Each structure stands twice: as structure tokens, then as C-alpha cells.
Structure 1
């Protein structure tokens, strides 16, 4: 393919990459501010370690993206200036000394229509930073709210405590409170922030790819083909970021939703446990046992055996549900590590060190 270049269009593309450097810096700050979770108690504690690793990889990837955009902007400006300094013949001879990576793939033609060979203008088509909205916890109910709804059961009355001591030796409301403790609302907001970052990266990748394709309608030759290879690769890398961030968003939502559904079920089981205790106390009263009487476990089981068994069965159900949700969270923890691990979604794109025109 013959050598041609419109240095104004090359400069425009470099300017767009300069704009995206600012976008990437904004995204880096957004991630630092909105992926904060910190140390947490309860079930959420099993996700803190993988979350902190994910946050670190995300911030590092965005920092690297800003650096790549900055370096690419500078390289393109340098090439533009070089082309402006030499005449067409000299520029073409220099371009032939540059290794040819091969022509970029051509758009398939539409049957019956001539191929579009017109020169197109480079222009920024997306503004990724507009995706970085304050995160929300939409459609999310904090599981701790269910604990609050059970608040009157946390401080057990006399007969309630007698039944609990005789059967399971714990207050299920207190245990439930310990399990779901932690800032699940902030966790849900972090999930929303991951979604915003995914959309951000998708927009940026689209703009990089679309405009390098457009630029090649006014810049042809070996250096142009190499530029296409490099910036198409950059767009692919950033698209991988978008996919990884989208996967993390889904996993965080899965964790928050799973704990909420677990909490709803536990809430119902606790209500059943305390209903059994209530009816057990009624049976004791019917059996002539007064509230001031000291009653041992054997008496409770003899006078209210079914209710005592129901309390024990309810507690077993609670612990089984806990094991199930713990297993789910461990799987999510592993899934997060898979996304960010070696060869995962946040591999750095190389700086444009090789993008160095022989005449520059």
C-alpha cells in the first residue's frame, strides 16, 4: 500500500489518547475512593482478602493505562512533528525502512455496493469519565436490618433463657447478628463501582479502536500498520479490563444477594425457634410449673419434649444454612482470585517503546 499521511489527523488521535490519560487518572482515583471496604467481621471477612487484592490489581491496571495513554500521546506527537519536518518523498523512503507487520484486516464489502475508500475524520466518540458516578446500593437490603427486626428477641426472658440453656446453649439471634455483621451496604456500593469501571473501560476501548481504524483512512504505510497493531492491542487489553470488572461486579452482587437470601431464611427459622419456646412455656404452665420454679433441662424435656426438639432442629437448620453460605462465599472468593490472577483480566499493556519511527 502506498504511503500517505495527514499529520493533522495523527495529531488528533494523539490528543484523544491524551484525553484518555486524564480519564484513566480519574478512574484510578474513583477506584481508590469507592472500592474501600477495610477490615470486616462476620461472613464478609472471608471476602476482604480477595477484595483487597482485586482493588490493588484494578488500581495498578488503571495507573498503567494512564501511563500508556500518556506515552502514546507523546509518541504520536513526535511522529507528527517528524512528518511535518520532511517532504513527502523523504517520509515515504523512511517509512519503507520500517518493518511491515502487514495490512490491517479490511471491512467486508456489502454485495452490490462499492467499498468505502473515503477519508474519515478522527474524533472522540466517547467520554468514559462520565461513567464514574457515585456508587449506589440500589435494590439491596442490608441483612443487618433483619437482625434489628428481631431486636426484641436478643435479650431473652426467663423462660426463653431456660429453654435455650436446656437445648442449644446459645441465643440464635446473637449468633445470627455475628454472622451477618459488617458493612454489606458498602460492599454493595463497591459492586456498583465495579460496574461503573467496567462501562468506563468499555467506552475507552471502543474509542481507541474506532479512531485508529479511522486514522488509517488518512495514514497508510508500514508505520501506520504498526500503529494499528499496537492500538488495536491496547483496545483489546482495555476490553479485557472491562470484562474482568464486569465479572467481579457479578460476583460481588452474587455474594451480597446470597447473604441476603440466607438472612431471610434464617430470620424465618429463628421465628420458628422462638415460637416453639413460647408454646413450650405454655405447656410448662399447663403442667403447673411456676415462673419462680427452678427447672432443670430434664424437666423441660419431659414436659415440652416436642418444643425442645424443634428448637434443636431449628438450630441445626441454621448451622447447615451457615455452612452452605460459607461454601458459596469461599467459591466467590476463589472466583475473584481467578479473575485477578496470573494471566487474568488485568495484565498490563506494554508501553509503546517499539513504536519508534526510524526517522523520528
Structure 2
């Protein structure tokens, strides 16, 4: 194990990137599943401790010394700057191999996940990001509401069948996603600066994986799903409540507004201040009155829909400048040949 942060060259193989904040209690099963992978491709694990205060890095190192396998290289690093995106950047830089598999500290990959992912990515150079699907494992009992709201915990299939989902779902959730280091390097060379940063410690945030998929699409790469790629997502009791669902939905709403700039760029859609004002007017009137009623007297779902209505209304009224700044940020790094819409 070592803490070096960069390697100048990469080769064929998979680097599993685990970014964790205070993940000491979650890592045992996650690492255990990784030791049981059946593979023939070169494989390593890069674990980045993102400003933990519970001794996660030291725990992981000791665990691997006792239970690790010789066929998988294991390295760790400490990222003192809070924010999952900062930890991922460090992990990507450390990676020795071109394929980067994002494995959260509560993801349990099935035994052939790595090899299937490697084979798919090596067979099609046009794939920029590859994802699978997951089922939930609960610390205690499964809540009655989970079937309806499980998608907010990224517990869902990402396509109706395996293959190209670029023009369908168009993006992937980060857990279990596989990307290419050379694409990450390409984006960095262009000056790509993410508009979103992911989770910081216990603070909920969302959308960094979606933004990355849209950035890849702007460069012409494809988004792929394969139902053979399955993992288990552990659900701790502390997150199994509707208040947490509400917080996730708010975080997703904020990120969706940001990544809407990418969607509009992809679809060559011109959006002006007048567009925002016209949409604001269309959303006023009776919908406003109905949403107030839902906030006061509605069910959980009705209240959440009303909250989203008022978030949208607020953005249409006040956030055009932020939207325009986001479009300009994209245009600064996007190659001229890929820009079909002038932003004024």
C-alpha cells in the first residue's frame, strides 16, 4: 500500500475507486465481496478516505492486511478536502488502469461484476460510461414505502434491456459505474470544471455522476447499461425514513436545475431570460393555489410535489443568471466543433 497520488501511464485493467467518509462500519462486507471477484483482467483497489474522523483509512489498511488477496493490489490515500468529487479526483489520478469502477462503501458487487464490466468496455471503444443495477439489503426491516421511493436511493434498473441508453435515460447513477481514465484526462485537458460537487460528509448532494455522463455525451461518447452488472446496496436504518427521502428529492431538484444546462446544450435548445419569464407565467394561477393547498393539507407525495413546484417557480423567477453562467461555463471547455448554439 502507498499514498502516491499520480501515475504517468495507465494500461488495460480496472481500478476500483472507493471513496468513503467515516465508512469504517460499512467497509467489511464491501471489501469482502471484492476479494471474491472472479476475474482474469488486471485489477486494483484504490480507497480514498474523504476527511474521515473515525480512522477509516487505518481500518481499511489493517483489514486488507488480514483478509486481502494477493491478486488484487490495494492502495489508500487521504483527501482532507470534504466532498466526494474531490476524493474521486484523487482516486482517478492514482489509478494505474484505464477503466475506473466506482464502488461506494456500501456496494456489494456480485462475483463476476469486474470481469463483465471489463469485457464490455474493451469490446466497444465508443462507450464512455457503463452502469448496472442493484437491489437493496436492509439493516432492519424493509419499510412499506420503499417500493415506491426506492429509486431515490438508486435502487432501480437503468434500462428496460441491456445496451445503449444514451438517447433514453441518458445518464447513470454513480454507484457501480465504469468510466475511462483517458476520457477523464481528456476533459481535464479541455478545462472541464464540474458545476456540481457531490456529498460532503453527512450533507446530502446529488448529480455529479449525471453531470459527468452529460459531459461525456457532449464529446460524443455513449452511455451503456448491462443487466448482468448487479450489486447489493446496503440500506442503514438511519436513512430509512420519509424525511430522508424528502432531503434526497430536494438535493436532486437542485442538481437537476444545474444539469439542465447540459441537456439544453445537448439538444441545441436556446433558452433566454424571456423563456424563463414565459414559463413562470404559465406556472402561475390555479397551479399556485393548488400547491398551497397541497402543502397545507396534502399527503406526503402531494406535499413533495408542491415543494418541487415552488422550487421550480423560484428558479424561473430569480435564477436565470445562474443558468446562463452554467451554459457559459460549459461553452468555455467544450470544443468549438461541438458547440452548435451561441450563448449571448
Under TM normalisation by the shorter chain, which class is it? under 0.3
Of the two structures, which has the highest relative contact order with CA contacts closer than 8 Å and spacing of 6 or more?
1
Higher helix share: 1
**Given the two structures, how large is their TM-score scaled by the length of structure 1?**
0.21
**Given the two structures, how large is their TM-score scaled by the length of structure 2?**
0.22
Higher strand share: 2
Which structure has the greater CA radius of gyration? 1
